[in-house]
Structure 1
Amino acid sequence: MHRTIRTTLGLAAATAVLAIGLPAAASSASAATVTKTATASSFDFDDSWGYYYSKYWNGSRAKARGDVYEDEHHDGRFHVEGKLYDKNTPNWLCGYVQVKFEDEDGDDSTYWAKKCGSNGYRYFHFYENDVDSIQVRTCYYDNHHASKKSCGRWNYIYESDSEE
């Protein structure tokens, strides 16, 4: 589902909870809205994404999650940042995340980050100007064959609402 549809569904669900009159749930929903509003005031667009997973390899999967936002100081510049995890894989196999920025002409730029080993995570941060959509996918990277493998699907984390 696209983010705008999920946001609309989430707002409809929150409205239904308020209408039913569940005070505890309503106060939690209000707190979440206040937090998101405070974060959104720092940027023109701000949203979280993930966890997105690679396909299974020997019972394990790499995963990534993060945030996408529009820079308030540079109009049209979008940032994607996050954390990449690689759990329980041999040293020659690494967690791998790809971020693809696409402009309105269909031209794209793809960036990647790699995390080898089960300890901790790898932070990544990429940005591009004049973006029409942004997609993310998580894979494994085979260091022996210098190739991606076991990739999950591409996930849209941002799409412009303009229809020209």
Structure 2
Amino acid sequence: MMKKLATGLAAVAATSALALALPSAASASTADSDSWGPVYSQHYQAKASGWVSVDWADDDHESNTITVRGKLWDLDNRSYDEGGKCAYVKFQASDFDDNWSTVYTKKYCGYPAFKRFSFDSDDVSSLRVKVCQIDLHGSYPRNCGSWSSIYTGDSETE
């Protein structure tokens, strides 16, 4: 009986310690992270949203790593025979010389569910996202929404 009581008290103490530690750990990790989205395709048949964070490698703000996490939803309930399409998300980053390039794309077919994604990109001054639709076996996105800015480093360097 005493052994069960001691084990139970130890479990409660460990759980309490973990619960007390989690809020501070969660607030520390979200302090450098901003949510973005939702961003939609044209006609609202695909959606993406998530979080973006920046880690500066130096105090002069000349080198960084952007981390993006998110979810991509396929909201097109039509069958492929009826013209249904998959969800598609595209990210472009601008370097510190204002040159834009595609840094990540993701395709997901699976109405009504979502697919998680994440990626990192180095030396980013701005980041934007666009959500589209794409044919099941296609390579050309269509029905795209407009570009949405999800990060700009201008405000951090002032």
Q: TM > 0.5 between the two?
A: yes
What is the CA-CA distance between 1:72 and the residue it aligns to?
7.1
Distance, in Å, in 2 between the alignment partners of 1:135 and 1:152 is 12
The 8 Å contact of residues 135 and 155 in structure 1, kept in 2 or not, is answered as yes
Amino acid aligned to 1:130: D
Which of 22, 27, 51 does residue 38 from structure 2 map onto?
Answer: 51
Equivalence for 2:88: 96
Aligned to 1:131: 124
In structure 2, distance between residues paired with 1:119 and 1:54: 15
Larger Rg computed on CA atoms: 2
Aligned to 1:41, what secondary structure does the other structure show?
helix
For residues 65-112 of structure 1, the C-alpha deviation after alignment (integer angstroms, 9 at most, x for no partner) is 000001478961111110000021434621001111111212233211
Q: Note the aligned Cα RMSD (angstroms).
A: 2.7
Q: Which runs of 5+ in 2 are unaligned?
A: 1-22
Alignment partner, residue 14 of structure 2: none
Which residue of structure 1 lines up, in the alignment, with residue 148 of structure 2? 155
Offset at residue 145 of structure 1 (A):
4.6
Q: Could you say what secondary structure the match of 1:52 adopts?
A: strand
Mapped partners of 1:49, 1:113: distance in 2: 17
Size of the aligned set, in residue pairs, is 125
Q: TM-score scaled by structure 2? A: 0.68
Gaps of 5+ in 1: 1-34
Q: What is the alpha-carbon distance in structure 2 between the residues aligned to residue 129 and residue 39 of structure 1?
A: 24
- In structure 2, what is the equivalent of residue 79 of structure 1? 67
User: Once the 2 structures are TM-superposed, how far is the Cα of residue 42 of structure 1 from its aligned partner?
Assistant: 2.7
Match of 1:120 in 2: 113
Amino acid at match of 1:99: F
1:135 and 1:158 in contact (8 A); partners too:
yes
Amino acid at match of 1:64: A
Percent identity over paired residues: 37
Counterpart position of 2:28: 41
Change beyond 3 A, Cα 1:43–1:117: closer
Q: 1:40 to 1:73 in 2, by over 3 A?
A: farther
